[in-house]
Structure formats: C-alpha cells, structure tokens
Amino acid sequence: MVDKNSKKILCTHFSAGKTHDFALFKKSKLPLARSIRLRVDSGYLGITRFHANSLLPKKKSKHHPLSAQDKQNNRELARQRVLNEHVFACLKRFRIIAERYRNRRKRFALRFNLISGLYNFELQ
C-alpha cells in the first residue's frame, strides 16, 4: 500500500508462492478507515464488498462497450494509479521482486521491508 501524497510505502503483505493481488488483500484483513479511498486496477473486481470507498476502472464487454465518460473516468483513474506503478518500478531496481527469489523464504518479508524502508528513507 502506497500513500498518494508522500509516495511512501505504508504497509506490505506476503504469501508463499504465486497469489493473486486481490486474494492477498482479502487474506491480509487490513483494517482500513472508511475515509481512505483505494484506487485499484481491474484485477480487484469485487473489492467494494470489502471496502466501499474504492475506485476501480470500468470494464467493457462485447455487448456493452464503454461510453466516452467511462473512458475518461478510466483514464483519470490510471493517471492517479501510475504513482503506485512508479513506486513498484523503483523497488524492482533492488531485484527482489523483479526476479525469482532464491534465498530462504522466511527472510523474504524481512528483506523486502528493509528495502521498503530504504526507499522511504530515500524520499526524505
């Protein structure tokens, strides 16, 4: 989770093996205040059941194309979410999430949190 204004990493959560982001979000049971607005991608379909104040892009289907307003809303949401993607790109410089992790699994969370701390320290 990344703060929009400060671009700092607020919290992290991990699981063993390949796990979808939304499944990991549900498993974490992160206590979020209702005032926090979550901006997520289309992989989090159904997040409104867990956090009502969340924005996700509208998907098109074969029979229901997107209107011009929906496309504009999706672009605006993407502009806001790109900040998160920039943070992930900075973390990939450390190669811990860009490549296969070949060390002890117990230490992955510790090392990733240390890297997140370095990233947050670098922002100051």
Q: pLDDT of 9-68, one tens digit each?
A: 999 998 887 889 899 999 998 888 999 999 999 889 999 999 999 999 999 999 999 999
Which pLDDT does position 103 carry in this prediction?
A: 85
The answer on pLDDT for 124 being more than 90 is no
Which pLDDT does position 65 carry in this prediction?
A: 95
Which pLDDT does position 53 carry in this prediction?
A: 93
The residue-averaged pLDDT of 74-96 equals 91
**Segments making up each domain of the chain, as ranges:** 21-123
Q: Judge contact between 37 and 54, C-beta under 8 A.
A: yes
Which pLDDT does position 18 carry in this prediction?
A: 84
Which pLDDT does position 23 carry in this prediction?
A: 93
**Other Cβ atoms closer than 10 A to 112:** 18
The answer on pLDDT for 116 being more than 90 is yes
The answer on pLDDT for 101 being more than 90 is no
